[in-house]
Structure 1
Amino acid sequence: VLRGVYQPGAEPDSMRTDVILKINRDKEILWQFSFSEHVEELCTLAGYPMPIPYMRKTSKGSFEPYGPSDWAHANTIEVLPETPLGHKDDRFKAGNLLFSLRHLDIIGTVDPIKNEIVWCYGPGILDGQHQPTMLENGNILVFDNGTYRGYSIVREIEPASGTIVWQYENGEDFFSPFRSGNQRLPNGNTLICECDAGHLFEVTPEKDIVWDFWSPFVGQGPHHLGKRIHRATRYAPKDVEPLLESRKDRIVAEVDRDGRRITTYPELIQFYQS
């Protein structure tokens, strides 16, 4: 159990932790970074209050014990590209790692050379977020799920100042408490994946929806497993055909009621391409 993380008498019996691994093609570990060894950096940089009670907030607003402690729940790791911001601020230099810790409402960067967390953002603003990604302008786009807020927001953040420079929201009509993602497109629009609704849509900088797609598998499988779209990426037309050709034996056409066995139809490639 992490020392100092949990209030005395409120510690979990067991704990999960998250580790970043760099592995070569021979499956040898070249470098690793365990978040449980960097709790003090999270506290200092993010202003996260420690110790915390080992509890989970319920839908009724009360806190109750639950399972093994999944205290951080990392859901994204991205190697930062070259950006103008990275050239003037080492916290965001190319090669640093952008991460998301969902259960702490924190995104941040790791400097693998220094072997430490160098930037954090999120508490009090983000709520169960997914897929932070650095844009060409050095800003960070993130799907802020709003798990306890009750509605989702896609935010573009200027990380050095923490300023939110753009965001998309639509109240309770846009809400995915878990998973989901976003992608800034070459035309300046934003592709949004609203996982739990099985909804993909593209919005302009003015927040107009110019394209959308609803999963046809709504309600198939237990717990709506056939409904959700966990993540989506828009590819350039020139890249689509090779990708479809290499993956045609895995196109899902039907999810059986048990949510496990699937039937694949290669001919659906042309249908979904349209």
Structure 2
Amino acid sequence: LVLANLVHPVPGFTAPQVLDDVIYEVTPSGSIAWQWVASEHLNELGFSPESLKLVLAAKPRNGAQAVDYLHINNMAVLGANKWHAQGDARFHPNNIIISSRESNIIAIIDRKTGKVAWTLGPDFPAIAGAHVPRAVDQIIGPHDAHLIAEGLPGAGNLLVFDNQGEAGYPRVSPGIFPHSRVLEIDPVRKQIVWQYTAANSAQTLWSFYSAFISSARRLPNGNTLIDEGMNGRFFQVTQQGDIVWEYVSPYFGSSPVGGEGGPVLTNWVYRALPVPYNWVPPETPRSEKPVAAHNAATEHLVARP
């Protein structure tokens, strides 16, 4: 499966060209065996009539030639999960989950029919604090939406990095204290069952914030690995919010993004994925030493390359 862009005119859009999101299934020989084009399913994504008018009237930004109206940034096969095992066909293991940065939508595509089988968003109530469980509240510009795999704590729940940047039709933003969240969501009840913000680590909310890119993955021990992408920071938190491992990438490269037209240096990292320890070839230089317990409220452990 390949997530790609298709630049073409789409009837109904004000813009002459649309940067459409498309999913291709490609055979080993390079033939397209199946495809899904987002603009053919706009009426299935949950837009109100008023929001759909804003979508169709969207204009290209940042000098682009085509309007990037959804910006689907993530696509994954659901895999085996308890919801399907319990008889919910929407969560068939072959179905596909996507997240749209521009529309604040997470959706599941039925692999057989191509229809959208399940959606979260685009409309949410205002954020209602930190207590859980609670109904899913305002998600903005999400990334890395996926179901936690079988065998991991929270299996079957949706894990997503909620950037809290600026997005939506109409656009919404997090206000004076922008900060990101990691949300674990029961996708059937559509309730937040666990969340992480910097406040869970006794830090100011804005000390954990990535308005774009980023990811979050559940680990076998129940901790969560978080990539605060725009700052090149990876860290691991317990269910209680203790930071037990942290690494800031020292590798910087030139980027045309974020410099008001001029090149700048950045250490941003799009996504961080955990791999099993034995995935690393045995001949790779390595060392192990125990890490002492610490108080996450007063100090951090920093991993050095």
Smaller-chain TM-score bracket: 0.7 to 0.9
Distance 2:105 2:283 in 1: 34
**Cα RMSD, aligned residues only:** 2.6
Post-superposition, which runs of at least 4 consecutive aligned residues in structure 1 deviate over 3 A?
A: 1-4, 64-67, 222-226, 242-245
> CA 1:141 to 1:243, structure 2 compared with 1: closer, same or farther past 3 Å?
farther
> CA 1:29 to 1:244, structure 2 compared with 1: closer, same or farther past 3 Å?
farther
Amino acid paired to 1:217: Y
Stretch deviating more after TM superposition (139-148 or 233-242): 233-242
Aligned to 1:127: 140
* 1:70-81 equivalence runs, <5 A: 70-81=68-79
Distance 1:102 1:224 in 2: 24
Q: Are 2:198 and 1:200 aligned?
A: no
Q: Which runs of 5+ in 1 are unaligned?
A: 58-63, 246-271
The total of aligned residue pairs comes to 235
Distance 2:69 2:139 in 1: 16
Q: Are 2:47 and 1:29 aligned?
A: no
Distance 2:72 2:99 in 1: 5
Out of 34, 50, 67, the position equivalent to 2:52 is 50
Out of 268, 280, 295, the position equivalent to 1:240 is 280
Q: CA deviation at 1:15?
A: 1.0
Amino acid paired to 2:25: K
> CA 1:116 to 1:229, structure 2 compared with 1: closer, same or farther past 3 Å?
same
Amino acid paired to 2:36: F
- TM-score normalised according to structure 2 size: 0.70
Report which of the two has the higher share of helix. Answer: 1
Aligned to 2:209: 175
Distance 2:270 2:103 in 1: 21
Q: Which runs of 5+ in 2 are unaligned?
A: 1-8, 125-137, 167-173, 199-204, 256-262, 286-302
Q: Are 2:18 and 1:15 aligned?
A: yes
Q: Deviations over 1:26-53 (max 9, x none)?
A: 0010000001100111136x89821114
Q: Percent identity?
A: 33
The answer to whether the 8 A contact 2:139-2:164 is kept is yes
Distance 2:163 2:112 in 1: 32
* 1:1-274 equivalence runs, <5 A: 1-4=9-12, 11-43=14-46, 49-52=51-54, 53-55=57-59, 67-87=65-85, 88-123=87-122, 124=124, 125-135=138-148, 136=150, 137-148=155-166, 149=174, 150-170=178-198, 171-218=205-252, 220-222=253-255, 223-241=263-281
Amino acid paired to 1:98: I
Q: Secondary structure at the match of 1:156?
A: strand
